[in-house]
């Protein structure tokens, strides 16, 4: 599908804006075929950087100490210092909340073993184990990049969803984001787009519009 056709589909899916009490997301619903997803090796687990961002705030937590913690406070939504790890891990409700509310985690590389031991049970199953950074480095570039990242992730079912922006974004930006996701998906499927049964685009409250 070329850019102009994709843009037209986006415009159709967005429709005439209706007044809502919240900002609607725009997402793809992707349905695969002829692929055995009960076998973990066939599953997709990719991260795609959207060229025009996600259109909304993405919460990122940093687990670090010293100089990195000071730098992280300027850009991360939450900074957990090394001396706070034990208390956080000991409070299951708080740890689950932190894991749920933050999309991505970064951490000072030497802390990864203790993070795995203390918080791995909360972060691991969600696919949110931290990205390591060298001690004392500036985490800001990684944090800013992660704010534009979406996960393209299947489990054992052929249908999955990928957020590509928000309803208030220009159609051409949404089309660019969708194109980035589709290109990555095509490279990760054994038969490319032949392994795709259908793809729909929809807003949170709107009808689904078929792309493929």
Query: Does residue 4 surpass a pLDDT of 90?
Result: no
pLDDT over 90 for what percent of the chain? Answer: 77
pLDDT at res. 17 = 61
As a CATH number, domain 3-55+148-210 is: 3.30.190.20
Query: Does residue 75 surpass a pLDDT of 70?
Result: yes
Which residue has 């980035």 as its token pair?
A: 180
pLDDT at res. 92 = 95
- Cα–Cα dist 79/59, whole Å: 11
Give the contacts of 76 (CB within 8 A, at least 6 positions apart): 60, 61, 62, 106, 139, 143
Task: Catalogue the E-assigned strands of 134-191.
Answer: 149-153, 159-166
- Kindly list the domain boundaries of the chain, sorted by start residue: 3-55+148-210, 60-146
- What band does 114 get if pLDDT is binned at 50, 70 and 90? very high
Distance between terminal CA atoms of the chain? 8
CB 160 within 8 A of CB 185: no
Over residues 178-186, the mean pLDDT reads 94
pLDDT at res. 79 = 96
Predicted TM-score (pTM) of the model is 0.86
Fold equal for 3-55+148-210 and 60-146: no
As a CATH number, domain 60-146 is: 3.40.50.790
Q: Which residue has the higher pLDDT, 200 or 14?
A: 200
Query: Does residue 55 surpass a pLDDT of 70?
Result: yes
Pairing of strands 25-32, 196-203: antiparallel
Give the contacts of 132 (CB within 8 A, at least 6 positions apart): 106, 107, 108, 109, 112
- What band does 8 get if pLDDT is binned at 50, 70 and 90? confident
pLDDT at res. 146 = 96
């Amino acid at each position: 599908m070329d850019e102009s056709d994709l843009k037209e589909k986006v415009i159709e899916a967005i429709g005439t804006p209706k007044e809502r009490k919240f900002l609607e997301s725009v997402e793809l619903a992707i349905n695969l075929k002829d692929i055995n997803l009960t076998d973990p090796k066939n599953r997709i687990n990719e991260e795609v950087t959207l060229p025009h961002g996600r259109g909304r705030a993405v919460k990122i937590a940093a687990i670090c100490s010293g100089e990195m913690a000071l730098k992280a406070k300027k850009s991360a939504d939450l900074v957990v210092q090394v001396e706070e790890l034990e208390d956080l891990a000991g409070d299951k409700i708080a740890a689950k909340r932190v894991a749920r509310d933050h999309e991505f985690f970064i951490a000072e590389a030497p802390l990864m073993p203790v993070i795995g031991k203390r918080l791995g049970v909360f972060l691991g199953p969600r696919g949110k184990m931290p990205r390591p950074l060298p001690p004392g480095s500036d985490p800001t570039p990684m944090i800013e990049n992660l704010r534009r990242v979406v996960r393209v992730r299947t489990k054992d079912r052929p249908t999955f969803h990928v957020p590509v922006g928000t309803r208030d974004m220009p159609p051409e930006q949404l089309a660019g984001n969708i194109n980035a996701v589709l290109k990555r998906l095509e490279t990760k499927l054994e038969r490319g787009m032949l392994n795709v049964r259908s793809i729909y685009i929809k807003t949170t409250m709107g009808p689904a519009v078929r792309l493929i």
